[in-house]
Amino acid sequence: MKIDVLGIGFDNVSLDEAADLAFDIILKKGQESAKTYVVTPNPEIVWRCRRDIALKYSVNKAGIVLPDGIGIIYGAKILGTPFSGSRVPGIDFIDALFRKMSVSGKSVFLLGAKPGIAEAAGKALEEAHPGLVIAGFADGYFTDSDALISQINALDPDLLLVCLGAPKQELWMAENIDRLNVPLCAGLGGSLDVFSGKVKRAPKVFQKLGLEWLYRIIREPRRLGRSLSLPLFVLFVLLRRLRLIGNTNSF
C-alpha cells in the first residue's frame, strides 16, 4: 500500500519489511521485470519534486520508496493517512539488507563520494558483514556513464549502491536502470562517508528523535539554507489538509 505525501507515493513498510522486499528482488536476479531501485526521500526532496517534474518522475518510478525523514511521518499523519510504523532511515535499511546479503554471499558495487571513500567503505563493510562481497567501487566524479555502466555490468553485482547525493542519484538511477544488469539499485546519499568512517553519524538520541537533520546543520551550518524547505513542506501539508490546495499543485 502506498501513502501519498504531496504527490510522492511512499511504501508503508517497517525497516525489516523494507529489507525483505529488497532482498526478494535481489533473489530474482536475471529476471528483467524484477529490476528496480530504492529511494529514500525526506521533506526536502518531496518539496523539490513539486517543481522538478523529472525528479518527481524518478522518485515515483522507484520500486521501493522509503520515508527517511521524520517530517514525512508527521506529514502523512497530518494528511490523515499515517504510516503504520516509524520512519525508515536509508542507512539503517541498507545495513539490514547487507546483513541478509552477507549470509548468502551476495555482492554489492559501491558508487559515489570522493576518491578513496568507496574503497574505505568497502573494507569497513567487509569487516562489519563477513560474507558480503564488495564487487567493485567507483567515486562519484565520473563523466562517462557508458563506461561506468560497462564496468558495473562486467562485475555482475547483486546490488548497486548509488551515493551521488540528491537529486543526482535519483535521476541517474531512473535514466540508467534499464541498461544495468543489476536487479536492484539503492540511492543512499552520504552513506559511504559514514561507512568509511569519514563522517560520524548523529548520536543515538538525535536518531531516536528523528533529528539527524538538525545534527547535520549543527555540524555543517552551510546546510541551513537547504533546511528552509522544511517549513515550506509543513505549510503545504497543512494547506493540503485544509483542502486549500490540490495534491498536484506547485508552489
The pLDDT of residue 222: 66
The pLDDT of residue 206: 75
Of 30 and 181, the structure prediction assigns the larger pLDDT to 181
The pLDDT of residue 250: 45
pLDDT(249) > 50: no
Is 39 exposed, middle or buried (CB count within 10 Å of its CB: 0-12, 13-18, 19+)? buried
User: Strand order of the sheet with strand 64-65?
Assistant: 64-65, 36-39, 184-187, 159-163, 107-112, 133-138
Q: How far apart are CA 166 and CA 187, in angstroms?
A: 8
pLDDT one-digit tens code per residue, 188-212: 999 999 999 998 877 777 777 677 7
Rg (alpha carbons) of the chain, rounded to whole number: 18
Per the CB < 8 A criterion, the answer to whether 118 and 164 are in contact is no
The pLDDT of residue 203: 78
The pLDDT of residue 137: 97
- Residue 222 is given by DSSP the state G
Taking CA atoms, 158 is separated from 12, 21, 35, 185, in Å, by 25, 14, 11, 9
Is 3 exposed, middle or buried (CB count within 10 Å of its CB: 0-12, 13-18, 19+)? buried
Q: How far apart are CA 215 and CA 219, in angstroms?
A: 6
47 pLDDT band, cuts 50/70/90, is: very high
All three cell numbers of 182, joined, read 543489476
Per the CB < 8 A criterion, the answer to whether 76 and 41 are in contact is no
| Mean confidence (pLDDT) of the chain | 91
Report pTM. 0.91
Q: How far apart are CA 161 and CA 156, in angstroms?
A: 13
The domain ranges of the chain are 2-241
Question: Helix (H, G, I), strand (E, B), or coil: what is residue 163?
Answer: strand
pLDDT(223) > 70: no
